[in-house]
Structure 1
Amino acid sequence: MMLSKSLQRKKIIIAGLDSKLVIAIEAMLLRKGFSNLSFANECADIYRIIRPFAENSVDLGLVIVDEFLPGGDVGHMCTSLSRENNGIALPFIILKAESSDQLNDSIQSSGDLIYDLYASFREAELLILVELLLVLKNERYLRNQQQEKLISELATRKLLDAKLKYLIAHDELTGLMNRANLEQHIRLSLMRFKALHQNGALLLIDLDRFGLINDLEGFDVADRLIIEVVALIRKTLTRDVFFARIDSDEFCLYFENVSLTQAKESAEAIRKSLDECRFTTGDVCYNITASIGIAALPTQKVIVHPEELISKAHQACYLAKQNGRNMVWIYNEDDKAIKERHRDVFWVPLIREALVDKNFFLVFQPVINLKSGIVSHYEVLIRMRGQADSVIHPIEFIPVAERMGLIHCIDIWVVENAIDFLAALPVEMSDVCLAINLSGFAFQDGSLLPTLKRKLDLSWVNADRITFEITETAAVDNFDQTRQMINKIRALGCHFALDDFGAGFCSFNYLKKFPVDYVKIDGQFIRNLVNDETDQVLVKSMADVARKLGKKTVAEFIEVPQVIPILVSLGIEYGQGYLFGKPCRELIDGGRVPLAHFSNESETKSHFSYNRLD
């Protein structure tokens, strides 16, 4: 048997009375490569030698001991030290005299690490037994190591399983319920609510401007803030509640069997305690506020799923933020803002579908020279096809598109299709010009200018035939950015008109600095112009200022023929309204409107048998 070097370096103890025999055993072991030898004259010496190996017996080999070694009971020592349990699994070779009997029963039953050998042994016999016991001890040690490792792995796995089970239902940072766990409790509560007709309320708490602290101070500080907020909310609560963290800075509190009044009182207490809290990090102190939305049971609509209740609380929280933050808002189906959000949900897929399936189309309304009756240009308006060939007007979908981020797509669609319309006109209509309405968000879209450039290059349409209309309020809201974009588009050759002038109380100073070619006077000054001298004074002042600034004027909402001579006398050059034609898909044949046609009062009335639907 070839032993490894590591086994040959194990500690071997030789304990005997016969010095010649001890020397002979030593020589045999040295010749075989065993060099880590120690000697003992009594049992106490053996205990002294192995004491340093008590905690780790891996380097301890075996003991060769005389059966009559003084200083103790050799049999008891062998039995106790060779045990695996409570022992160190130390092998023993007991040297016996020729006259001795076999090992007694107690030593034999102690295991396979104790062997007896007559003192008259042969060298090969001793060496084989030494090597065998060292191998057995090493295998026993390796087996115990594997068992300990397995036990440790099992314990670690159980710990991980327990942690995973906890994390499945709880937030790791705060120890609160997570959303899934909260929904399970709400689901059970809803079932009890149906059976027992109990009340209940869900509070959704959203920290105001938490992202600012997160960005400025980092994640560690933000986490510390969350922990402090949770502790503060817990301290404020006076009744049992299901408390969950459902997002980075959003928390839900679900109260069972409470009235709406009680829920609001709890919400106000939490809001007030957070408002009074000061969060300090370094030299900076932050004021912490929260917007809180409440959804209560029962509601007008039966709630089946927990997500519905959370959604209602979330909508109420959104309204709290929209109305100034740091406040409590109760969900109400009749809220105008709630209905508006439901309306958005309804219209968004219809708008997307219209963009993909080409359900939008353009209509054109003429802008007339008030002196000659010649069509100056046409204003382009968008419509949507509805069910059964119905027509949906922009008042229905444009506000939704602006709120939901779809208005840029509509702006681009209108620009591209208006230019395509001009490109498709026959040569004899190459003088037709269009005024294209742009939303107030158009100049925040970086793709507008390159799209316009590309479309003009590909279509060969003269940019001079295109005027873009932007409302006064939209222009003033972002004056510098809008003016820069207008200058870039005008550099291509396009024109600009300031729509609804006067509606937003725009100062003439803005008009002086704004690079537009047309000023469209808002219809509120035109509708009653015949009978209202104040409107006449205002319109005249607008016309005079526009003329001095080199801008042309267009009067909107012309609905009666009597207003035409008044507008001309006030210096207004162009007019637009249902008197001349409602928006339609065809252009006016001949490009001229006979103004004398509107002198007949009966014909005028026939023009206004419908409502304005721009």
Structure 2
Amino acid sequence: MAIERKTIRLLILEDSQNEAERLVSLFRNAGHATRVHRLTSSEDLAEILQQTWDLLICAPHSEQLEPSEAITAIRRQAKDLPVLQLVEGNDSESITEALLIGAQDAVPQGEDERLVLVAKRELANLEERRARRAAEVALREAEKRCQLLLESSVDAITYVHDGMHIYANRAYLELFKYEDGDELEGMPMIDLIASADQGTFKDFLKNYQSAEGNAELACQGMRADGGCFPAQMSFSPATYDGEPCIQVVIRAKTSNAELEEKLREISSQDLVTGLFNRTHFLELMDAAAERAVNAGQPATLAYVRVDRYAGLQAEIGLAGVDLLLTDLAGLLRAHFAAEVQLARFGDDVFTALLPGQTPEACEPSLAVLLKKVEGHLFDISGRTAQTTLSIGVAGLSEKTAKAQDVIDRAHRCADELAQGNAVKLFNPADELAAAASRGNLLAIVQQALETNSFRLLFQPIISLRGDSHEHYEVLLRLLNAQGEEVPPADFLAAAKEAGLGEKIDRWVILNSIKLLADHRAKGHNTRLFVHLSSASLQDQTLLPWLSVALKAARLPSDSLVFQFSEPDAIAYLKQAKALTQGLAELHCKAALSQFGCALNPFNTLKHLHLDFVKIDGSFSQDLGNAENQEALKTLLGSLHAQAKLTIVPFVESASVLATLWQAGVNFIQGYYLQGPSQSMDYDFSAGDE
């Protein structure tokens, strides 16, 4: 069961190997996969900074390289590498000094839990900075494309700041009969308005500065040659060269302007209720999210669902339901203040966007609305109908960049009101639960165990040295109720937290044995690599149970290879040692995965009886780099000297095959060869021809 985790690339400045190992184990025990390098000199630091690292942890002092020197070197190279300085005792002077020389934080030595929490915060900040830099690059590209679109637009477009032109496109210059944009730059826009309309334009612009959203104005434009023409101007907030300004789009006014306005109004309306439709409301939500993030203006979304909608349809018919919805829309209009934007969002759903209000502030008013609707008698062509509402509420704040997230939250809250006639506010604490999906995932995992509905996939592990066995790694997959694949890292973490790791491992072993017995009966000389979790490493009943299971299936013991990860082996070395000895006695094979990330990985090997070692995926990345090739070759050379069969995963292209062959790798695995498949159907003979 391969779990995809982001590996933390960790530098440690610490003279003591044992203390460095202890620091690494803190991160491993906290569930972080780590790739570590211990710094030994300033030359070592200069060389290692050629690569990308995520975090540097410095001991209070080091004989080999002073922390202040290391921090200075990092700053000199302008590396975005957060530094955590450990200090002796909780001495405020030492902490201040560490911050002054450029450390992101200082943590008293020995406060392990605090160190992990601070590191987690700095790593999250680093991710945010990296994401921001990527977004800035994307923004520059988007701005370039926008500039090209502006230049080629048939509409006359200008950008105005403090009433002055700062940019005008070709169509704008042609409309006003100017030859060059330089003529307009710095010219007040009011100079292009006929004198009779200048007062109106000035008042409009003055009031617009404090308004928000789009607005329109009809007036007479004045060309450079003194001629006038009727123009319809659309104003909207924009930025140009990073400065806030107003975008003005001008269309020469035609006799159809009134008709166009009517069509625009209709396109944003729901035909039954006269409220905004879903498409237009989504635009309003996007604008509100932008205001919340950029201007700190909060807003609240109420997701209002009509209870018993299907039952109402059956009782009063489609035409009757339309009448009820129209009546209900009138009720909503009367209840909410004028600035609240209302829409019919779906067949049985209305939405209300309440600007400037938090969800808590809206709750009393929404409770009043519930009572009004519950007590209202809807007159449907002479007969009476009644209904109630379920209202989910979520807020827009500076943290909600995506309007869709807010809609989903309010929707979920409405869904949770099974009895109806109630209001539920979104609780941010629920978001954490939803993000981790702990409760739901756990239910899915338990159901999968009960109903046998996990899926096994098989990915071939291919020999580069002519091994006659056919090898596959067994991968566990889980689908949710919608038929979508749940990320293995998520459901395995949930299972581990609930103590179900060992139960899942046994399910995988039993089903792998069953499928392998069927496959070998067809004449295939196949071995399966089956992953064991940390729970199974600690399970003393596993070996006797395994012995019985293998005998019952009449499988040769060496047809199964039990694989566990280096971080788990380090955390439970004593148990892993006993397990590999026991597997050898059963004649089963053992493999260690994610190898090579510990400070001294070969120290772990000394204690374990292993047949295969799978190198950590980070070693097979960027093998075009000579330094990375050398690191991999050195690691493989040491493993081959100990007679270990080596596997390199994540082989994604043909270009690395020659390098891997020269390095003496025994087996390779990856999407270039074949991704995980539901059947063991790889043609192992193809490579021998």
Structure with the bigger RCO (C-alpha within 8 Å, sep 6+) is: 2
**What TM-score comes out, normalization by structure 1 length?**
0.41
Q: Which has the larger radius of gyration?
A: 1
**What TM-score comes out, normalization by structure 2 length?**
0.37
